[in-house]
Amino acid sequence: MSSDPRTEATLADVAPALAGAQAEYQRVAYPGVVDLVTRELLRILSGRLAHCSICRNLRLRAAVERGFDESMVAHLEDPEHGDLPERQQVVLRLTRAFLTDPASFGDADRETLLTHFSPEQVAELVLDLIRFRPGSKLTVASGREPVLDGLVYA
Amino acid sequence: MGRDWPVADDAGPEASQFDGLVSHRPRYASALGSVEAELWAQDAIDPVTLELCRLRIAQLLSCQAALGYRTPEAAAAGLDEELVASLPRWPDDPRFDSRLRTCLGLAEQLLMDAQGVTDEQAGEVVAAVGEGGFLVLTYACGLFETTQRARLLIGARSW
């Protein structure tokens, strides 16, 4: 880990069209068809598993306004032991499986996922999972994580 | 037997399992496609190096769908299939020059743990492919990983 940026340049400087496409990928992700609180739980767990302090500490104010609170974060990595509803638990199992052992998300989990989410919503969750980690890795590897490890609201 | 992963009606008969799923959210899926297209169109790092890193990640993730695919830009740029076959032996195989080894080393480290990328390793990559190459390769490796993980999740047989 580095506390100083390892390059003077950013992705936008060296590959502007790629950075522009990445920004558009981010822009069309919202408002989306899955509730923002569930997507926020997925994003924070993804950030934790990528060891990205920005991702794990960022909190979207819009999600807070829709019911997200910090007690939900306590059981992100063992959702069956918390108070989260089944639909959020299965999204967290999806997230963990995706980022650790995708094949472990078996038929029963897929059935539960499709019981709670429409095909459009499932597509959105998968596209979220594809989107978050590349940016996290770029932030970490390029040494652009913040020095302070506290919650940030945006 | 549970339900299969859903396939969008308008995905088209030639659509892959992955495209069939994400086409349920067409604008979002299209934006991902644009990111991938711009990744292969940029000139900060060459497509053959990107492809070798993509395939090395696929080997480590055992993603058969990715291993069976060749990115057209890399093939057009002269991707050497003998080099692809030798990828597992890149640290010791003399056909991999120091520049490729540096990039493949970064790809493997990013897959294992991005926090493990040291100042020294990042400096070596910048020295080998420039700041632009380092940044694009880092982002690309993350994208290769997650797009492959998505295929593994849904059990895709082809890319």
Three-state DSSP class for residue A80: helix
Instruction: Specify the pLDDT at position B49.
Output: 98
Q: Is the pLDDT of residue A2 over 70?
A: no
Q: Is the pLDDT of residue B16 over 80?
A: yes
CB < 8 Å to A14, chain B: 44, 131-132, 135-136
Q: Is the pLDDT of residue A66 over 90?
A: no
Who among A2, A50, A138 is closest to B135 (CB)?
A138
> Quick check: A74 contacting B, CB < 8 Å?
no
Higher pLDDT, B46 or B1: B46
Q: What average pLDDT does range A54-66 have in this prediction?
A: 73
| CATH for B15-154, options being 3.30.365.10, 3.40.50.740, 1.20.1290.10, 3.40.50.11900 | 1.20.1290.10
ipTM of the complex: 0.96
A152 bridge partner residues = A58
Q: What is the pLDDT of residues A29-38, one digit of tens each?
A: 999 999 999 9
Q: What is the pTM of this model?
A: 0.93
Q: What is the distance between the alpha carbons of residues B150 and B142, in angstroms, rounded to a whole number?
A: 12
Token pair belonging to B45: 């790092």
Give CA angle at B151 (B114, B13), nearest 5°: 145
Instruction: Specify the pLDDT at position B1.
Output: 47
> Quick check: A23 contacting B, CB < 8 Å?
no
The answer for residues whose C-beta is within 8 angstroms of residue B103's C-beta and 6 or more apart is B45, B49, B52, B53, B125, B128, B129, B133, B137
How sure is the predictor about B27, in pLDDT bands with cuts at 50, 70 and 90? very high
pLDDT averaged over every residue in chain A: 88
> Quick check: B143 contacting A, CB < 8 Å?
yes
Q: What average pLDDT does range A70-88 have in this prediction?
A: 84
CB < 8 Å to B135, chain A: 7, 9-11, 14-15, 138, 142
- DSSP assignment of B28-61, as one string? HHHHHHHHHHHHHH-SSS-HHHHHHHHHHHHHHH
Q: Is the pLDDT of residue A121 over 60?
A: yes
> In residues, how long is chain A?
154
Who among B38, B110, B117 is closest to A18 (CB)?
B38
User: Domains plus CATH for chain A?
Assistant: 34-141 (1.20.1290.10)
Q: What is the pLDDT of residues A97-110, one digit of tens each?
A: 999 999 999 999 99
How sure is the predictor about B59, in pLDDT bands with cuts at 50, 70 and 90? very high
Yes or no, beta carbons of A51 and B136 under 8 Å apart? no
Yes or no, beta carbons of B149 and A129 under 8 Å apart? yes
- Domain ranges within chain B, ordered by starting residue: 15-154
